Structures are given as structure tokens and as C-alpha cells.
Structure 1
């Protein structure tokens, strides 16, 4: 039996939270939106202002699309006298106020996730694990920055028993304010890697910036850290300096609080045996790859730190849905057979490409097929960019990739390093590369597409899907089969 959506905000509550005044008709909202193009019925639309846009220009469109009301700093021209509004001094500050009040009134136990790679997939695994234990809210997509975090907090239901928030940064000083807004009971740092080097003097400086996540935590909070990472000791010291009484670790190290005993890696899933704070458990993870295996240990360790049932939570990890741009697999039908696309187009770094290449290496092509990697530029790597791109040649060869397509000036360094037999094509950008890849693929191929968000490698994925009849590949069936072995 369906239940009515929970009311998040009334006009009176929103006015009180933001120090504003309610105008026009009364309203109640079951959601919060900052985008008039995706606003849903009964959302509160927040009219943010930026250097190239003004949300006040779209208030009328949001209300016409069904928004319950709008948070504005001025009444837009053309609205009727009865328009359902809350008028405050500054809508960005008002969004922060909504988030702050929502966090104060929510009884939920809160987890925050950051790290150089693996934030969103770990957040989604955490959502799935905690949902098996009680009503759980989590950040939608990658709303992890200075406006995404307060927006997510403003959406936190009163009824949630657990909340999971993704926190991101690419400069020092960004994570601390986000942590102080979320005030997590548990914070996970998945790993520290050579990402955003353009903005940092060293990887150690990146570790220090990641450690800012501890700034919003009270002394009873728990830090969940990667014991296998070279910067583990640095992060432990930062957590202790912040006054945290609980510092927990995960990884393959035998002294880790959650340590991997053994795992069976497959193309679409993994079977895992682990010890979580002394409790031996076995479970199946629907996300393939050793990097996801290790992050699943962090998830279960965080569940334990929140007081949840680790065994029940582990059962849910076989049902983590594949995410677009982060490993989602599609089978594309051709007249003579089919090929498989592994969509990793959302983002990329040296560490994440190396990890996903391991997944490609475990994906067996069909008859006459090949393993193909389609790679776009990794961005924000600074002066080390040429060698970091060229350095991908070795992991490509190690996992048995047959053919490599590259786009962007940075990936030219990799393309020139490859043996002639592995060179598919290089193009200036993804738009130019997409038709070359679509023309080259054949039945039996397994094609992994990856690049930084700015490289827009989703164009290549779209071209591949449009080249035949795409059907979703039921990766969870393989996970269920593995679990039954």
C-alpha cells in the first residue's frame, strides 16, 4: 500500500528557518529543488543566483511545473499576488539555513563519505546497506559541493533513521565547511590518490584536505580509514588531533578492524569473506572490482560504528544497483551478435582507470571479440599529467586489452606510448572519437569507456548504444549466481 510523501517544509517553517517572510498562498513541500527543468510536483523551488544565471527568472516556470512554493530574495516580475513564496535576504544563505535546521531536527545517525576515488559508489553501497536496517536518506547523485550539500540536507526527512552524505572537494579548505554542515557521526575516507594535483603541491596535501572531514565531528565520532593507503598514518594523526576517540581501519592489512580474508573476483560481481571487528562474514557484492571490495569493508565498518547489524547490511550489498557512468553494463545487439559496453564515463583518475581496467580484464569477450578501452583525458593533474597518462600503457597491457582508443591532448601521450597493434585511433575530443569507435566495434567485443567528466566520454557511450539495439545487462543475476555457489 502506497503512502503519501513526507512533508519536508511548510511555508511557515521555511520562513522561520531562513529569517524570511511568507507571501501569497500557504503551501507544504515534499521535496526541494534548485533546477526548474527537473522540479517535481510539491517541491520547494530555491531561486539561486550565479554569475551566469538567476533562478528568479525561472520561478514562474517552476510553479507552472507544480512546485509548491519558491524561496526568493525578490518577487519576480509577472507573478500573481497570490504566488506561494518565502522572501529572504539571500537564497544561497537561505538554502544553507534550510539544511542547518533540517540537520538539527533530524534524529538520524549520519555517515559522510569522501575520498579521491570511490565516493559515489561507496555512498550508494552505504545507502543500500543501511536501507536494510531502517529508513535511509542519501545524497542524490554527486551533490557533494557547496550547494549540493545544503540542498541534500534540506531534503533530509524527519523520519530517516540513517543519513548518508557524499562530500567532495578539489581545493584545500572546501571540505571543512561541508563537514560542519553535515556533522557526521561516522566519516569514511575511501582513499587518497593523485587526483586534483593541479590544485595541490603534493599527495600529502591532498590527504590533509581530505582530513578536513573530521572538523564537523564531535569527539564521540568515528573515522573509517583505508589501512592499505600510504597516507593512513597521516590521516590517523589528523583524526586524533581533531579529538576523535574512535579511529577504525579497513583493508587487506591483517590488523585492520575490517580486513579482507579472501575474495573471488568476477566480471560483474565479487564473493567476499571478511572479518568485521572480529566477526567473520561472507557476502556477495554486485559491483565488480577489488577497489569496490575494499570499499565494501569500509561500508560495513561504518554500519558497525553506527550501531547497525553488519550481517543484515552485508546481505543487501548483493543488490547495489549499477550506476550510469560508474560501471553500468549494457549489451548492444547487432545482426551478427552483440557486444558489451561498460560505462565508466562519469570521471577518471590514474587510480580509478587502473582499477576499472582490472574489471575489463576479467570480462571475457565473445567469439571473435576483443577487449577495448576507450579513454578520455584525465583532468586537473597539473605538471605530472603527461607521465601519468603515458603510464597507463603498462596496466592496459597487463590486463590483456587488445585495442585502445583515445581522445584529448593528454591521452595523446598514452596513444604514442602504445604498441602499434593496440592503437585504435586518437581524436581531438570525444565528439570526433565517438563515430570512429562505433564503426570499429564488432560482435563479441567488450568496450570500457572512461574519462574525466570534462572529457564528455558519455558521447562515446551514446554512440555505441545507438549503433545497435541496447538492452540492460542483468549484472545482479550474475551476483546472485555467485552468491549461490
Structure 2
């Protein structure tokens, strides 16, 4: 497959060619590079120019560089540009310009990646679908996704994230979506924004990149919904709300056989769908996905049917049976909204003792102590039997819990991980959740390790 010819890549970036080549993909990492890829030598945590020779030896079609490394052959196929990141953005812009299908962009404080994956899977059988890999949603992830997009793509799903003000609008303008969806707005990255209203305005900036007569899909049930609606109105978008109310609404979500049987009404049409998860928050996002896909011209009943093929990604709420317990692995990240959703999932599962193992939530700003302490008052906490906690911030939740619910507290997650097998017992339903850098995922790893059968001993 030809994704980029040398001439097309040079025209997009204004770069200087060395050699003639055809690239079938675009890569920024030699560890995942495939033969035929154009290797882009970004300068980020490490300088990609140090890996150009390795990329070429692994079969890269060419390398996009801002300087020619001394260890590459004189005849190495290259595209030389002033700045590699700027050139990647230019490739992404050109990739978007030549694509005539529909683009859906997704952002939100919680659920961006799982919602993007829902949309990708729901579009099965509806033409060529291109979606961001993993959580490629930042200043290099969005242009990389666009640069990798085949010209004949029918539907593209672009994930857009942020850590600081001013990041979302430029990425949305690069993607130029026909439909833009916000999953939710919650207290995440408060250190950079100061208040949830600031986060809402930043999320609403995704509508600034909408193509003409674009559609804004917004959560209907939030205190900051009026801010999101104002942002959409300012962009001249068609506004479609989703949630328990709105033009796209969840009518019912009943637990059955480890999943949810759901009914929704999407702009006047009632559809049923099944999700392989018990988290009702996933059902809410599924309603938003169906609304977004319908707005993009997809077949709504077919999309609803294929939602049953979606599974929560690793670390984001998947439920698994593990050595006599049921584990909800939600350890990828956390903020107050996603933690509340995780606790609701735990409370909704029937069976044995419900145990929560929680790590610190980070980047919450000046109110972080109060936000951790407030978890004790979460409505779902009444159904939780025992809470083990790790991290200095979670100490405040430990102190706020009633004594009967207090499990162990440790300064670091690895301390809980070292005795993970003693924190639970057979029959328990266990939620593990915390910010990624809290390292609460080490508890998940330890639980999985303790559930493995012992290796047979060699006999002499």
C-alpha cells in the first residue's frame, strides 16, 4: 500500500528529498516500526535522530529528519526539513485534506480512549475506518494519526487530549472534524486550570475546529453543560445533548450475564445494544457514540449491534475472574469523576465482599485534600465493605472513612502490592484504581501473580 510517495511528502512539508521512495506507513518509534514506514525523527524525551540508522536497517522506506545523522549512508533515503514535529503536523494536515470521508473527534476528562475504541468497533462493516492508536491524543499523537490515515478512509476517529490551556483548539483545527464529542468534564488537571469551569471551556474548544455545519455532541447532565453549549453555539455547531436527558438518551441499562442490556433513543430512533461491561458510565458514553456516528451518517442500528463486540481496554474497568476473586482493573488513571464511576461499578456487582484498593489522584490542585476526603461520601461507598489505600493524599480518605470500612493504608502502592494476597480473600469483588503515577497498577500485577499456579519443582 502506498501512503506517502516521496514527492507527496515533500510537497506537504516543503522538505528536501534525498532519493525516491514510497512509504506504506509512518512511525516515530523503532521498536514498533514496520518495513516500509517513514520514520519521523522527533526530538522529545529522546532525539529520534539517534535512531535513524537503526530505523533504516529495520526496513524503513525513508527517514524524515531536521539534520542528517553522521552514521547513515550517503545514499540513505531522507526527507530533510527545518523541524521534524512541524513537518509531522504538515503531513497530518495534508493527510486530512486529501481524505473525503467523515471525521469524528473525541475529548473529555474521562473515557476518551474507551469511547474512541467504542466508535471504531461500532463502525465495523461501514467502510474503511481509521482511528488513533492507544491514547495518541497530544501534540504529536493527533498529527501522527492524521499522517497515517489512508486517503480512502470513510470514517476517522481522532482522540484529542490536554494537560494545559490552549492545547485542544489547535489540534481540533488540524483534524477539522465533522462531529466533535465531549465525554464528560471532571476535576482533572485542576492544577493547570484552577476550576472546573476552566476545564469545561478548554474541552469546549474542540468545537473551534469543526468543519462547516458541524455537530457538537455534549453531555447533557453536567453543571457545566451550559458552558459547553455556549462553546458549541459560538462555533456555529448543531448541538446534540446525550445522557439521561437530551436528544440522545439512555432509556435503560440492566445488568445481565456480566454485561449490560441497554436501550437508547437517538434523535427519535430507539435502538437496543449490549455492552460487555457492568459500568453504567460506559453505557452513557455508548449513547454519545451512537449519536456521533448517526450525525456522521453511519447506519445507527448496525452500529448499535456492533457495540456488543467492544471490551473495556486493559486498566480501564474490565472485569475478570482471577484466583477466586473478581477483579475490576481500573488502574490506568483516576480523577474524582472516574473514581466515582469505578465505585458505582463495584457497588453494582453482586456476589461476595466488595473491596476497593485505591491510589492517589494527582493534578487536582489546591483542593486535592478535600477531593480525596469527599470520596468517603460517594453514594456507592455505602455498598463497599473494605477500602485499602495507598499514597499521602489517600491518607485523608482513610481518616474520613468509618472504622468498619478502613483497611490498610500505605505510603506507597508498592507496599500494598507486596502483600496483595493478604488484602483480599476468595469470593471478593475487588476494584483497583488510582492515577497512573501512583503505581497502583503494581497491586493488579501482584494479584495476577498470586493467582498463578505455582511452578512445579524440579526433582533431582
Q: TM-score range by the shorter chain?
A: over 0.9
- 1:105, distance to aligned residue in structure 2 (A): 0.6
Task: Establish whether residue 362 from structure 1 lines up as the match of residue 348 from structure 2.
Answer: yes
Task: Establish whether residue 272 from structure 1 lines up as the match of residue 259 from structure 2.
Answer: no
> Is residue 191–residue 364 contact of structure 2 (8 Å, CA) maintained in 1?
yes
- Report Cα offsets for 1:57-85 as digits up to 9, x if no partner: 11122223332221111111111122222
- 1:450, distance to aligned residue in structure 2 (A): 0.9
Quote the residue 1:426 is aligned against: 409
Distance 1:447 1:386, change over 3 A: same
- 1:267, distance to aligned residue in structure 2 (A): 7.7
> 5+ unaligned residues in a row in structure 2: which ranges?
454-460
Quote the residue 2:77 is aligned against: 84
- Report Cα offsets for 1:187-208 as digits up to 9, x if no partner: 0011112221111132111111
- 1:397, distance to aligned residue in structure 2 (A): 6.0
Cα distance in 1 between the residues matched to 2:404 and 2:230: 48
- 1:219, distance to aligned residue in structure 2 (A): 3.5
Quote the residue 1:473 is aligned against: none
Task: Establish whether residue 13 from structure 1 lines up as the match of residue 3 from structure 2.
Answer: no
Please list, as runs of the form range in 1=range in 2, the aligned pairs for 1:27-176 lying within 5 A after superposition.
Answer: 27-50=21-44, 52-176=45-169
Quote the residue 2:300 is aligned against: 310
Quote the residue 2:457 is aligned against: none
Quote the residue 1:23 is aligned against: 18
> 5+ unaligned residues in a row in structure 1: which ranges?
1-5, 471-485
3-state secondary structure, aligned to 1:249 = strand
- Report Cα offsets for 1:192-238 as digits up to 9, x if no partner: 12221111132111111111101111341000111111222222122
3-state secondary structure, aligned to 1:116 = coil
3-state secondary structure, aligned to 2:177 = coil
Cα distance in 1 between the residues matched to 2:34 and 2:379: 44
> Is residue 267–residue 360 contact of structure 1 (8 Å, CA) maintained in 2?
no
Distance 1:60 1:328, change over 3 A: farther
3-state secondary structure, aligned to 1:228 = coil
Cα distance in 1 between the residues matched to 2:411 and 2:383: 26
Please list, as runs of the form range in 1=range in 2, the aligned pairs for 1:225-374 lying within 5 A after superposition.
Answer: 225-244=218-237, 246-253=238-245, 256-265=246-255, 268-333=258-323, 338-365=324-351, 369-374=352-357
- 1:399, distance to aligned residue in structure 2 (A): 4.9
- Report Cα offsets for 1:388-424 as digits up to 9, x if no partner: 1111123376352222221111111111222333222
Give the RMSD, CA atoms, in angstroms: 1.8
3-state secondary structure, aligned to 1:391 = helix
> Is residue 267–residue 288 contact of structure 1 (8 Å, CA) maintained in 2?
no
Task: Establish whether residue 377 from structure 1 lines up as the match of residue 360 from structure 2.
Answer: yes
Cα distance in 2 between the residues matched to 1:462 and 1:398: 25
Cα distance in 1 between the residues matched to 2:271 and 2:201: 33
Quote the residue 2:213 is aligned against: 220
> Is residue 347–residue 384 contact of structure 2 (8 Å, CA) maintained in 1?
yes
3-state secondary structure, aligned to 1:45 = strand
> Is residue 143–residue 152 contact of structure 1 (8 Å, CA) maintained in 2?
yes
Distance 1:321 1:425, change over 3 A: same
> Quick one: which of 442, 445, 448 aligns to 1:465?
448
> Is residue 273–residue 281 contact of structure 1 (8 Å, CA) maintained in 2?
yes
Cα distance in 2 between the residues matched to 1:152 and 1:188: 18
Cα distance in 2 between the residues matched to 1:439 and 1:38: 38
- 1:332, distance to aligned residue in structure 2 (A): 2.5
> Quick one: which of 372, 375, 396 aligns to 1:389?
372
- Report Cα offsets for 1:227-260 as digits up to 9, x if no partner: 111222222122111222x11111112xx11112
Distance 1:159 1:126, change over 3 A: same
Distance 1:78 1:217, change over 3 A: same
> Is residue 132–residue 316 contact of structure 1 (8 Å, CA) maintained in 2?
no
> Is residue 357–residue 399 contact of structure 1 (8 Å, CA) maintained in 2?
no
> Is residue 405–residue 437 contact of structure 1 (8 Å, CA) maintained in 2?
no
Distance 1:180 1:192, change over 3 A: same
- Report Cα offsets for 1:358-391 as digits up to 9, x if no partner: 11122234xxx53221111111111111111111
